[in-house]
A and B are shown apart, each in its own frame.
Chain A
Amino acid sequence: MSETPKKASNEGFLWLLFSAGGVVAAILIPIQLFLFGLAFPLGWLPQPSYDHLVYLMSSPWVRLYLFVMCSLPLFHWAHRFRFTLYDGLQVKHLNEVIFAFCYGGALVGTVLAAYLLLSI
């Protein structure tokens, strides 16, 4: 019990991000991955035309939707994967490195998503 309570509080914040990301990932990703990853490439359903996508992307709501769909699930990944590495491989001594890799990755992905969606 050496760490300061401050650190403990941050865990709460990270856990909130993890949970919010978990909800978003559970509700939004299955249909999105099913359509773009399987149904369209395999020709089960007609691929939406580029113009239709342009039309959809012109809405700020769609872009906000895509931003949420990218950023929160990344923080979900960061949290879960951090613990999978700690526990699954018993590498808790690499604590700082893993922490930086996971949350750093999530931050970079979030910034990238914001950049792409703003410049479209």
Chain B
Amino acid sequence: MTEMSELNQAAHTEFHPRWYRKRLSTWWWLGEWHYLVFILRELSSLSVAWFVGLTLFQLRAFMRGPDSYGRFTDTLQSPIMIALNLIAFCFIMLHAITWFNLAPRAMPVRVGGKRVPEFLVAAPNYVLWIAVSAFVAWLLLRTS
């Protein structure tokens, strides 16, 4: 609080102690393993934005016709794009797993007044995830 920082700056006298306060370094998230995992989880949002951007380009190429779409899928085969998508995929998986695992903490489920264990609340998330993924894959892969 503001009074605090003033107190903090004051010189030491018998009845007016000078406190020592350390500033947090800009690189605080590098110093500790838990903080690093946290910042990686947060950075997964960049992969989300990357994916949406890619999808918008894909839609544009699709709209312009088969030739344009063919060129788009060719671009996706370049090693650079494969590498970027691989990195993005890893971050997306980090996001998905941390999200499913943390959700029960934010939304506790109670049955008969007792809290359901977290893994039991997280399990349906995974089931839904797998079901949706399978359905999307089936839609795309089925030969019409």
Q: Name A residues whose Cβ lies closer than 8 Å to a Cβ of B.
A: 21-23, 25-38, 40-42, 45-48, 50-53, 55-57, 62, 66, 69-70, 73-74, 76-77, 79-81, 83-84, 88-90, 105, 109, 112-113, 116-117, 119-120
For B143, give the chain A residue with the smallest CB separation.
Answer: A52
Residues of B within 8 A of A48 (CB): 140-141
Residues of A within 8 A of B7 (CB): none
CA distance A55 to B143 in the complex (A): 11
Residues of A within 8 A of B95 (CB): 22, 25-26
Main secondary structure on B side of the interface with A: helix
Q: Pick the contact of B144 from A22, A32, A52, A81 — CB < 8 Å?
A: A52
CA distance A27 to B64 in the complex (A): 29
The 4 A-B residue pairs whose C-beta atoms are closest, nearest first, are: A37-B85, A80-B45, A31-B133, A26-B96
From known contacts A26-B99, A84-B43, A109-B52, infer whether A38 and B86 are also in contact, taking CB-CB under 8 Å: yes
Q: Name B residues whose Cβ lies closer than 8 Å to a Cβ of A.
A: 24, 26, 29, 39, 42-46, 48-49, 51-56, 58-60, 62-63, 66, 69-70, 73, 76-77, 81-82, 85-86, 88-89, 92-93, 95-96, 99-100, 125, 128-129, 132-133, 136-137, 139-141, 143-144
